[in-house]
Amino acid sequence: MGIVRNLSDRISALRESPTRRIDAIRERLRRENRDIIVLSAGQPSIPPPPEIRAIMAEELAKESMDLYAYTPSQGIVELREAVSEDLKRLGSLDVKPDDIVIVAGGQEAMFATLMTILNPGDEVILMDPTYFGYKPLIEYFGARIKRLRLSMDDGFRINVEALKELISSRTKAIILVSPDNPTGSIISEDVAKALVDLARDKDFWIISDEAYRTLIYEGSHVYLYKYAPEYVISLNTFSKDPGIPGWRLGFVYGPREITSRIKLAAEEMTYCPPSFAQRFVATYLRSEVRLKHIKYVVEQYRAKRDTAVEAIRRNLPEARFVVPKGSMFIFVDLSKYIDDSDKFAEFAMEKYSVALVPGSYFSEQYKAAVRVSFVWERTDRLVEGIRRLAEAAKAYKAS
């Protein structure tokens, strides 16, 4: 049988996630007992609060199906209520529990949302740089990507006039990641207002990716939903806070006409979100540990960010970057040292045992940049990793 012939045409467009490629090389070197310093990870290094883990350990002792049974596809009421209260407390938002859909992580939030709104031929506007996870999904659903180039020179600020140029009658959505992955920049209130005015005027969705919403070191998160609840679909994850990336839990909030359909899409994809994680996060969000934990995590990560910034300045004087206000990353332009970030990332891993994500995954313009995660490794290893990165960049330049 011609097995490949017997596949979906659309699936053939899917490729392995670029970070998975990096992971695979890392895995091979690990088996060779190489000690790789991981500056490529997009996940936290601080496990969720021990108090909540202790509560869940007790729950596991009970002889009942409560913890194991299917949940409503939209998520358990207790968690949707806890999320609603948390959005009020942190963002002064008024989002009803019925307008919140719990999903199996940020990836399912992305897939189910794009599955819900996109038709072939639609156009979606992405920032450049931006998180690489959206591109394959938009292409899978047959839509076309237009990119708005942001510049490091003005802190990756969105130029609304330039954005207007990209909008057409086929524009279905614009995707904003704030705090951003990979740049750590945060959208400002005035830009947010101009964007929602444009969405209203031109009739498109704003997909607001808020994965790093609670990881902010300067300033505060701008909730786009506040300005135009009828145009904004907000995607969230519990992977970064409280730090359960592998457990796959997130949520979407937005107008009920759309969230009710995202719920149906997620139901077809995974039937319901993981129940153990739902109970865990409902307990976390409602405990007094919740605000203390964010504060602790932000303090830890801010100190690491400052260490990383200082180390990059010291070791790579010709590197260019904007000090990130949020997220886990510094997006470092190495164009004074390297030309091709894909080749360089492999070189740095193979020869200098430091893992980085190439800028080309996020950008069509910053192809000589790398994304440096400052949260995953211990501080001493973070500094050593940046030293290795600098050595690699200089060696690459000389080669």
Which of 43, 159, 287, 300 forms a contact with a second copy (CB under 8 A)? Answer: 43
Question: Would you say 89 or 378 has its CB closer to a second copy?
Answer: 378
Burial of 17 (0-12, 13-18, 19+ CB in 10 A): middle
3-state helix, strand, coil in the chain (%, to 5): 45, 15, 40
Report in angstroms the alpha-carbon separations of 326 from 65, 310, 329.
40, 17, 8
Which of 160, 264, 294, 309 forms a contact with a second copy (CB under 8 A)? Answer: 264
Q: Which of positions 89-118 make contact with a second copy (CB under 8 A)?
A: 104-108, 111, 115-118
Question: Would you say 61 or 398 has its CB closer to a second copy?
Answer: 61
Q: Which of positions 321-380 make contact with a second copy (CB under 8 A)?
A: none
**Residue with structure tokens 């970064």?**
240
Number of residues that bind a second copy (CB under 8 A): 84
Residue 171: strand, helix, or coil: strand
CA atoms within 13 A of residue 49's CA, in its CB half-sphere: 22
Q: In the bound complex, what is the minimum distance in angstroms from residue 272's beta carbon to a second copy?
A: 7
Which of 95, 150, 206, 258 forms a contact with a second copy (CB under 8 A)? Answer: 258
Question: Would you say 113 or 185 has its CB closer to a second copy?
Answer: 113
Dump the DSSP string for 300-317.
HHHHHHHHHHHHHHHH-T
Q: Which of positions 60-79 make contact with a second copy (CB under 8 A)?
A: 60-61, 63-65, 67-73
Burial of 114 (0-12, 13-18, 19+ CB in 10 A): buried
**Residue with structure tokens 């109970």?**
279
Q: Which of positions 116-155 make contact with a second copy (CB under 8 A)?
A: 116-119, 136-137, 140-141
Question: Would you say 41 or 338 has its CB closer to a second copy?
Answer: 41
Query: What is the b/e burial string over 194-214, where b = at least 16 CB atoms within 10 angstroms of the residue's CB?
Result: bbbebbeeeebbbbbbbbbbb
Question: Would you say 244 or 311 has its CB closer to a second copy?
Answer: 244
Residue 281 — left, alpha, or beta (φ > 0 → left; ψ -120 to 50 → alpha)?
A: alpha
320 contacts 332 by C-beta, under 8 angstroms: yes
Query: What is the b/e burial string over 218-231, where b = at least 16 CB atoms within 10 angstroms of the residue's CB?
Result: eeebbbbbbbbbeb
Which of 28, 30, 34, 57 forms a contact with a second copy (CB under 8 A)? Answer: 57
Question: Would you say 112 or 186 has its CB closer to a second copy?
Answer: 112
CA atoms within 13 A of residue 287's CA, in its CB half-sphere: 20
Stretch that binds a second copy, among 5-13, 299-307, 336-344, 350-358 (CB under 8 A): 5-13
**Euclidean distance between CA atoms 174 and 118, whole angstroms:** 12
141 contacts 115 by C-beta, under 8 angstroms: yes
Question: Would you say 71 or 300 has its CB closer to a second copy?
Answer: 71
Which of 37, 39, 40, 44 forms a contact with a second copy (CB under 8 A)? Answer: 44
Stretch that binds a second copy, among 81-89, 150-158, 250-258, 314-322 (CB under 8 A): 250-258
Which of 229, 273, 324, 358 forms a contact with a second copy (CB under 8 A)? Answer: 273
Residue 81 carries which side chain, given as an amino acid letter? E
Q: Is 159 in the site for a second copy (CB under 8 A)?
A: no
Q: In the bound complex, what is the minimum distance in angstroms from residue 151's beta carbon to a second copy?
A: 30
Q: In the bound complex, what is the minimum distance in angstroms from residue 66's beta carbon to a second copy?
A: 9
Q: Which of positions 277-316 make contact with a second copy (CB under 8 A)?
A: 277
Q: Provide CB contacts within 8 A for 49, sequence distance 6+.
A: 242, 284, 287, 289, 292, 293
Stretch that binds a second copy, among 80-88, 161-169, 197-205, 378-386 (CB under 8 A): 197-205
Q: Provide CB contacts within 8 A for 40, sequence distance 6+.
A: 19, 22, 26, 355, 356, 357, 371, 373
Which of 26, 221, 240, 248 forms a contact with a second copy (CB under 8 A)? Answer: 248
Q: Which of positions 198-237 make contact with a second copy (CB under 8 A)?
A: 200, 203-205, 230-231
Question: Would you say 74 or 341 has its CB closer to a second copy?
Answer: 74
Q: Is 9 in the site for a second copy (CB under 8 A)?
A: yes
